[in-house]
Amino acid sequence: MAMTRILYNDRCPICRAEIAHYRSRAEKAGAALRFEDLNTADLGGWRLTQDQAKRRLHAALPDGRIISGIPAFAAIWAALPGMGWLARLVMLPGLRHLADLAYNRLAAPWLYHRQLRREARGLAGKDARP
């Protein structure tokens, strides 16, 4: 079975919680998704630096293409039972543009800078409080 690989930051408590939800659903459904923590993954295979990887969600599709942001979320949703409609909806041309703006201009930068602050305070580990 060809797998879609998902690269995420397990040290970010919000990212970790969201991915835990998707991982649980994927395991129950036997979905072809594999989740990789960017802090332990070989980023050379992803063709990303550590900083690039931290800035957004990434997915490596079975055909080798690497996508990020909203398309990466859509790849997850498309693989999970009951969430395919969300993948199709968010990829509609008008909604895709709005979703990209919201993710690229608001959500991803906020999460990235929040995590940088956590790291600067020494709170970046898995067991650190959010």
Q: List strands edge to edge, sheet with 66-68.
A: 33-37, 4-8, 58-60, 66-68
Q: What is the pLDDT of residues 117-129, one digit of tens each?
A: 999 998 776 554 4
Q: CA-CA distance, 88 to 117, in Å (whole number)?
A: 35
Q: What is the pLDDT of residues 1-45, one digit of tens each?
A: 799 999 999 999 999 999 999 999 999 999 999 999 999 999 999
What are the extents of the domains in the chain? 4-120
The pTM for the full model equals: 0.91
Q: Is residue 130 over pLDDT 50?
A: no
